[in-house]
Amino acid sequence: MRPLRQIAMAGSLFLAGLPMVSAQTFSSDAGQFRLETVATGLEHPWSLAFLPDGAMLVTERAGRLRILRDGVLDPDAIPGVPELVVSGQGGLLDVLLHPDFEKNRTLFLSYAHRGDEGMTTRVAKAKFDQDRLEDVEVIFEARPRSSKSRHFAGRMEFDSDGYLYVAVGDRGEMDRAQDTSDDAGGVHRITVNGEPAPGNPGLDNPRVNDTFFTWGNRNIQGMTIHPDTGAIWTHEHGPRGGDEINILRAGTNYGWPEITYGIDYSGIPITLDTEKEGMAQPLHYWDPSIAPSGMAFYTGPGRPEWQGDLFVGALKLQKLVRLSISDGVVREEEDLLTDLGARIRDVRMGPDGALWLLTDDSEGKVYRLLPGQ
């Protein structure tokens, strides 16, 4: 993790070109903070990535990749996005920069794709050059396909060894999450070229697909790397209740749908079990469901009380949740932005030391959260 002084210096450069923005003041247990509206008019924005020059890339689920430069959203979409399908919860999903982006200009996109056999989750890599995508190459495709238009997952993250983690949902067919010959319902760890990462549990087990890292995951909508330990943390949607936060460990079965703290949308239990031998317990769960989406650890200089806290957006309950965690236990949970009235889709820690948020709406916004008035 970078020292706070370096983060602050980077932030001053990052913010130099931002125009005046509207702001609202909210309260927290640590004092007041300011929520600035940086951009508006995005159609269901899904993910945000910060470019080295201070610009930002934003995906719209409708299939467009947009650029926000000097606080101004370019009206034209970036050309070169791979062929995709917009259906139900599917569309253009995550955008993630290669760890050596400044040198190789490579980024990764996750998205829904339709073929003769149905729909699935894909990941493509591309070169971002002169505000367009070049050399687009599909490096991962979840198999088999399905007619369902739910639970594509799509969140991605790099670990400290440079391997890419890709979440694939159960596609609304829950039993697939326990079938390790089926790519649905788990997290896949691959190289930047799409090969199974060394050490994957399936490499030594013919019953487990080679790219699997974990399974028994319903629909992961948040993924981030811990700034101190380097572990990959996720959260996933439960049905009615049972949203979970998990720390990914190789070869771990997270239980869905054999164990869950939620029930079916009909009100009927999915299972009577909340734990079973050989299946991991969540670090934390919500009941009722908040529909979590996006997550980031706070590492900014502006609010020392928040250092190391985990921030999670909520779609259903329309809020930002702050979790203080130590020794694997949530010690404090605070709801923020409950009066904003917005579905929070993504949460990112910015190079300026601020938290950045996307709202999931047909007129979605980019927000920047800072301490103070």
Cβ count within 10 A of residue 29? 11
Cα 184 off chain centre by: 17
Query: 45, 347 in Cβ contact below 8 A?
Result: no
HSE-up of 303 (CA within 13 Å, CB side)? 26
Within 8 A by CB and 6+ apart from 154, the residues are 46, 93, 94, 110, 111, 112, 121, 166, 167, 168
Q: Tell me the residue type at 189.
A: R
For this structure, is 151 an active site residue?
A: yes
Rounded CA separation 85/114 (Å): 6
Catalytic residue among 151, 188, 235, 284: 151
Closest residue by Cα to residue 185 from 172, 174, 170: 170
Look-up: residue for tokens 């079916």?
264
Look-up: residue for tokens 């993924």?
223
CA dist 360 to 4, 43, 108, 256, 305, Å? 31, 8, 21, 26, 28
Rounded CA separation 96/239 (Å): 28
- Tokens representing 67 are 């650029």
Query: Residue 361, class by beta-carbon neighbours within 10 Å (0-12 exposed, 13-18 middle, 19+ buried)?
Result: middle
Residue 288, preceding bond cis, omega within 30 degrees? yes
Residues catalogued as catalytic: 151
